[in-house]
Amino acid sequence: MTSEPGLFRSNVIVPLLPGLGLSGFIALLAGALGFAQSHVFGTTGLDALILAMLLGMVARAICELPRAMQPGIRFASKTVLEAAIVLLGASIGAAEIVTLGGWTIVAILALVVASLGLSYALSRCLGLDRQLSALIACGNAICGSSAILACAPVVGAAERQMASAIAFTSALGALLVLLLPMAAIQLDLDDRRYGIIAGMSVYAVPQVLAATAPISVLSAQLGTLVKLTRVLMLAPVLLIIAVLSGGGGRVRPPIRQVVPWFVAGFLLLITLRLLGLFPVFLLEPSWQLSRLLTLIAMAALGLSVDIGELLAGSGRVLAAGLGSLILLVTLAFALSAFLT
């Protein structure tokens, strides 16, 4: 007779295997192509992380993925990438935190406030209702779908509004992860400035790692620190929105939406590193494992992007999301120029 624990593990793990396997295969192919670029053709070209996402997008565009692959793809694009974020925390020491600087914090606060206002105003000008405009503004200014989920009960948004905002935010965020490193190379941005720009503009914390890891370790460290500062603004922003919308702050999102598990894990490893409690011999393996997990997750992110579905959606929501993202990136570039 099969034991309940064994049955439970089977029910959880087995459905993930097809999608994880496909993501892993694409990651392996991207890694091989990246190796061939640098060691066979003698050129840097596109980093393996970017190649993994591109290959995933191509696979999604030319093939109809079986439904059985979806759980594993979702797991790889979310949980695997979140685990990579936790491991990244071990690579951040006092020097990286000092490098961030106090003026960067001020710039991040200004970015969030300006982005919230401009994104909301743009959405309203395009004819979107108050709830959907607030969701798009929060997702754009702070942390993508997590902020949308946390903001929804505060503004009384309907499920269809949540789904619409999350769909466009997720797709646009994934495309930004792909395009931003390419822009960094073309514009010849230094590692510090690029990390700040990515942290200020990319939607989700895990996506910041995906966007910065192809450039350098410093970019990934600074980008994640900047992004976490944006995330910490979620709670006060929700409180202000609740007051302005007449909620009086009575509606409180679950704590896991304000402080996700991987953010807590990331901060824990930073603390252990600062206290000298993290083994030095594990620093390099932690970074390499973080990059490997990110490579798999990038393939899954590519498999998650349905360009056709995005273009077939609501034109006004797409315009609001795209316009808000352009404003956010423009602000990030402008503010980063004063910090580097």
- Comparing 152 with 67, the larger pLDDT belongs to 67
Domain coordinates in residue numbering, the chain: 74-337
| Confidence grade of residue 291 (pLDDT, cut at 50, 70, 90) | confident
Whether the pLDDT of residue 139 is over 60: the answer is yes
pLDDT, position 249: 45
Mean pLDDT, rounded, for 239-243: 74
Encode pLDDT of 162-175 as tens digits: 767 777 777 788 78
| Confidence grade of residue 198 (pLDDT, cut at 50, 70, 90) | very high
Side-chain half-sphere exposure of 100, counting CA atoms within 13 A: 23
- pTM given for the model: 0.66
pLDDT, position 311: 57
| Confidence grade of residue 44 (pLDDT, cut at 50, 70, 90) | low
Whether the pLDDT of residue 187 is over 80: the answer is yes
| 70's tokens | 């979806």
pLDDT, position 69: 93
| Confidence grade of residue 84 (pLDDT, cut at 50, 70, 90) | confident
Mean pLDDT, rounded, for 263-281: 83
Whether the pLDDT of residue 16 is over 80: the answer is yes
Mean pLDDT, rounded, for 214-240: 82
Whether the pLDDT of residue 156 is over 70: the answer is yes
| Confidence grade of residue 70 (pLDDT, cut at 50, 70, 90) | very high
Mean pLDDT, rounded, for 81-101: 72
Whether the pLDDT of residue 7 is over 50: the answer is no
| Confidence grade of residue 9 (pLDDT, cut at 50, 70, 90) | low
pLDDT, position 330: 92
pLDDT, position 94: 63
Whether the pLDDT of residue 255 is over 80: the answer is no
The rounded distance, in Å, linking the Cα atoms of 140 and 134 is 10
- Comparing 114 with 206, the larger pLDDT belongs to 114
Mean pLDDT, rounded, for 171-195: 86
| Confidence grade of residue 41 (pLDDT, cut at 50, 70, 90) | low
pLDDT, position 25: 96
| Confidence grade of residue 205 (pLDDT, cut at 50, 70, 90) | confident
Task: List the one residue out of 162, 164, 143 whose CA is nearest residue 154.
Answer: 162
Give the chain's mean pLDDT.
80
pLDDT, position 339: 75
